[in-house]
Amino acid sequence: MQKAMSAVQGLTAVSTDTGTQVTFNAKSLEELPAFALKGYKIVVQGIDKKGQVLGGKVENLQDIIPGSGQYNINIQWHKNGLNLVTERVSLLTPTGYEVDVTRVPVAKPSTPYVRQIIASSNSIRVIFDHVSGANQYELSLIDGNLLDGKLKESTVHVTTKQETFLEISGLKPNQPYTFRLKATNSVGATQSKITTHTLVTKTEMAPIIQAAIPVSNDLMVGFIGGELQTSWDIEVASASDEHIIKRQNTTVKGASRVRGLPTNIKQKVRVRGVNESGDKTVWSQWLYFTIADKNTKPQPPELKGVLAGENAVALVISPPSS
């Protein structure tokens, strides 16, 4: 949707020794939306493995009229000695709204980490967090035999660009499986430690829990349930001592509101499905959250970096976690 509503197309970038080469095309009058761009800016961010912005620049653009063809802009900024993973290039409106973005990998991604494993009778779901510089993630099974002194790795089963989980199905119970997670981009790949897990349960895979959003003293929980599931158990617990704070069941597929939760303590929530016969799936992973009371001041955002331009300064921030 972001790209579809932009008045430019084909935003690309190439990393150079002294900066970033940016290219884009102004849409013609026959291509909608098409309008003059006045006061727009290009923002380049040099990002390291921790997601911090170490350098970059805010570049003012000349006025651009529809159908004026291709623009090539050489944006120079200090990058010598910076240990960067990605150069992020975005097009901003005069009010600071980002209408297009592209990323240029300049090094291998940060190393991914398997945060949690969910296992059913015939599948494994691996939960992880996004890492800096990764364009996609791959989960592959590993044959324990050595091939030319190295572990033999089977064909990659699943990949993702947006989600923070990957799942391999069609496995056999009571059998150990060894796998690892890879983070990849056009420069190369990094990989997690090798993990082994044995399927022992006879239950089905958990629903996919997507979001836990505090609303006043309540929590909105979003999830994707299976086709054969007719209701869903939701469990809220203390993050510190595993004490169960609340359990409830809902027949509304996709979302539920958990009411009357305590404030100012870190909590966690998970979901499982129930079918018509009362059989339950395994639990999903935990999502963590904190509900602040009305007297608690909100946490400030994290400052990731500051970029300077001719007559503008850009602050790169990350919202505080709940």
Give the mean pLDDT of 218-233: 92
What are 169-206's pLDDT values in tens digits?
A: 888 888 888 888 999 999 999 999 988 888 877 889 99
Nearest Cα neighbor of 11 from 39, 40, 38 is 40
Predicted local distance difference test score (pLDDT) of residue 1: 55
Predicted local distance difference test score (pLDDT) of residue 150: 58
What are 232-273's pLDDT values in tens digits?
A: 999 999 999 889 999 999 999 999 999 999 999 999 999 999
**Pair 275, 230: CB distance under 8 Å:** yes
**The CATH number, out of the four listed (1.10.4190.10, 3.40.228.10, 1.10.3480.10, 2.60.40.10), of the domain defined by the range 8-105:** 2.60.40.10
Res. 154: pLDDT tops 70: no
- Residues 249 and 245: their CA atoms lie apart, in Å, by 14
Predicted local distance difference test score (pLDDT) of residue 181: 93
Helix (H, G, I), strand (E, B) or coil at 170: coil
Q: How many CA atoms lie within 13 A of 311 on its CB side?
A: 6
Predicted local distance difference test score (pLDDT) of residue 191: 93
For the sheet with 19-26, list strands across it: 8-15, 19-26, 70-76
Res. 83: pLDDT tops 60: yes
Predicted local distance difference test score (pLDDT) of residue 89: 95
pTM for this predicted structure: 0.80
Per-residue tokens: 74: 């050489």
User: Above pLDDT 70, what percent of the chain?
Assistant: 91
The pLDDT-based confidence of 319 (bands split at 50, 70, 90) is confident
Q: Among the listed ranges 87-101, 140-154, 207-221, 304-318, which one has the minimum average pLDDT value?
A: 140-154
Mean predicted lDDT score pLDDT of the chain: 87
The pLDDT-based confidence of 71 (bands split at 50, 70, 90) is confident
| Phi-psi category of residue 254: left, alpha or beta, with phi > 0 → left and psi -120 to 50 → alpha | left
Predicted local distance difference test score (pLDDT) of residue 146: 46
DSSP state at residue 155: -
Q: Among the listed ranges 23-32, 90-99, 153-162, 224-233, which one has the minimum average pLDDT value?
A: 153-162
> Which superfamily is assigned to 114-198 in CATH?
Immunoglobulins (2.60.40.10)
In total, the chain counts a number of residues equal to 322
> Which superfamily is assigned to 208-290 in CATH?
Immunoglobulins (2.60.40.10)
What are 13-47's pLDDT values in tens digits?
A: 999 999 999 998 887 777 767 677 888 899 999 99
Count helices and strands in the chain by DSSP H and E runs: 0, 25
What are 97-140's pLDDT values in tens digits?
A: 888 899 999 999 999 999 999 999 888 999 999 999 999 999 98
Q: Identify the H or E element spanning 302.
A: strand 302-308
User: Above pLDDT 90, what percent of the chain?
Assistant: 52
All CATH 2.60.40.10 domain ranges of the chain, comma separated, are: 8-105, 114-198, 208-290
Cβ-in-10-Å burial (0-12, 13-18, 19+) of 321 comes to: exposed
Whose tokens are 């690892």? That residue is 180
CA angle 221, 225, 210 (to 5 degrees): 40
Res. 155: pLDDT tops 70: no
